Amino acid sequence: MCDTIVALGSTTEEGFTLFGKNSDREPDEAQNILIIPREKHDLNENVQCAYLTIPQVSETARVLLCQPFWMFGAEMGANEYGVVIGNEAIFTREKPDKIGLTGMDLVRLALERSRTARQALEVIIELLGKHGQGGNSGYRFKLK
């Protein structure tokens, strides 16, 4: 599991919000740091996530992502509107009913589709309702 820290602007001397996160991924799994520009998308366009293809939105925000090299999603990232999200693994013995979006898919999709933290939360809730969550997120080792 990862560790994340957030200090809201109301608690810092300079008034800035701080975000920090580590990524407890496999030791030989490279992480890409990439910037994806704001994009307009065609009507009926789809986006390929880790295991599912879902409908794309008409416009996606510019995002900075820290991403396992083999995945669509991201461990953490920020968008042009100042929304920041970090992924935390939760291990469970429950098996998913079906393959769905991964937590990392949700990080990227929420950053691309939101202008506020509240909107990011609403995007994640909507995506979970439509597509569910499930699927292996391990590189060499199957994280179940």
Number of domains in the chain: 1
Instruction: Say what the pTM is.
Output: 0.90
The yes-or-no verdict on residue 58 having pLDDT over 70 is: yes
88-121 residue pLDDT tens: 877 777 777 789 999 999 999 999 999 999 999 9
pLDDT of 143:
53
- Stretch 40-46: mean pLDDT, rounded? 96
Residue 117 placed within a domain:
yes
Residue 7 placed within a domain:
no
Q: Please pick, among 1, 2, 30, 109, the residue that the annotation labels catalytic.
A: 2
Residue 141 placed within a domain:
no
DSSP calls for 37-105: --EE--TT-EEE-SS-EEEPPSEE--EEEEEETT-SS-SEEEETTS-EEE------SPPPSS--B-HHH
Residue 137 placed within a domain:
no
Residue 15 placed within a domain:
no
Annotated catalytic residue 2 = yes
Residue 124 placed within a domain:
yes
CA-based Rg of the chain, rounded to a whole angstrom?
A: 15
